[in-house]
Amino acid sequence: MKKEILIATHNAHKKEEIQQILGEKFKVTSLTDYDIHDEIVEDGHTFHANALIKAQYCFNKTGKPSLGDDSGLVVDALDGRPGIYSARYAGNHDFSKNMAKVLAELKDQQNRKAYFVTVMCLVDESGENYFEGRVYGDLTQEIRGEQGFGYDPIFVPDHYQMTFAEMKAEDKNKISHRKKAIEKFLDFMK
Ligand code: ITT
């Protein structure tokens, strides 16, 4: 029988991406499949805490092995901000405002180092397990490119000249923080 993994999201794209990576042996489901529409309050102070909150919530509700994730941008010169507040740094999921705030705070700043991070947490009968992926790079002076989402237009990964938003989605997805975290999760599930 296929092993079921419940992903703590309503995002069909996220569910599909994980299904593709895990392959035939697994049946990936989401909160939508369980008709769970409660708001899960992510009030943790770290990426790990928030990923755990999501996974634990789903596991408690369904008893199925559950995967929660939390991601964000961590900027060196801003003491790690926007960090866990990445989605709502200046406006809730308002990517333009959020990028503008980061660029304004980095005005005249030489140190433009930053990284994207994804933390995934799997909760099942045996407890909690975490999988973390990071991609390091530098922030631009201005917005460049139209692909992707979030802070992609201001992030140039190490060893590249293009921002994530100037790269093809498939190229970003080969080196992204999310990809690295999923790979660790996949290794663990093998
Ligand atoms: P859900 O919690 O509903 O899944 P979210 O937008 O909060 O949606 P994440 O936790 O994955 O999703 O990411 C939080 C924010 O971090 C996101 O809104 C972006 O601003 C930023 N971010 C995460 N991954 C990113 C990526 O690959 N490229 C650009 N920005 C990213």
28-39: per-residue pLDDT in tens?
999 999 999 999
Q: Tell me whether the omega of the peptide bond preceding residue 82 falls within 30 degrees of 0, making it cis.
A: yes
164 CA: nearest ligand 1 atom: 28
Confidence of residue 17 (pLDDT cuts 50, 70, 90): confident
Cα separation, 49 vs 132, in Å, equals: 13
Mind telling me the catalytic residues? 70
Mean pLDDT, rounded, of the chain: 95
Ligand 1 center from residue 63 Cα (angstroms): 27
Total number of residues shown for the chain: 190
Residue with the smallest CA separation from ligand 1 atom 13 is 71
* Token duo for residue 156: 């140039």
Residue with tokens 């035939």: 24
pTM: 0.94
93 CA: nearest ligand 1 atom: 18
pLDDT at 46 exceeding the cut of 90: yes
pLDDT at 20 exceeding the cut of 90: no
Cα separation, 179 vs 143, in Å, equals: 24
Confidence of residue 143 (pLDDT cuts 50, 70, 90): very high
Cα separation, 97 vs 71, in Å, equals: 18
Tell me the CB-side half-sphere exposure of residue 84, using CA atoms within 13 A.
12
Ligand 1 center from residue 173 Cα (angstroms): 14
Q: Which domains does the chain have, with CATH numbers?
A: 3-189 (3.90.950.10)
Cα separation, 50 vs 87, in Å, equals: 13
Contact 82, 75 (CB under 8 A): yes
Cα separation, 56 vs 65, in Å, equals: 9
Alpha helices per DSSP H over the chain? 12-22, 47-62, 95-105, 169-175, 177-189
Question: pLDDT at position 107, please?
Answer: 96
Please give the average per-residue pLDDT across 121-138, as a whole number. 98
Please give the average per-residue pLDDT across 77-93, as a whole number. 96
Residues with CB under 6 A from ligand 1: 9, 11, 70-73, 86-87, 93, 116, 148-152, 164, 176
pLDDT at 16 exceeding the cut of 90: no
98 CA: nearest ligand 1 atom: 20
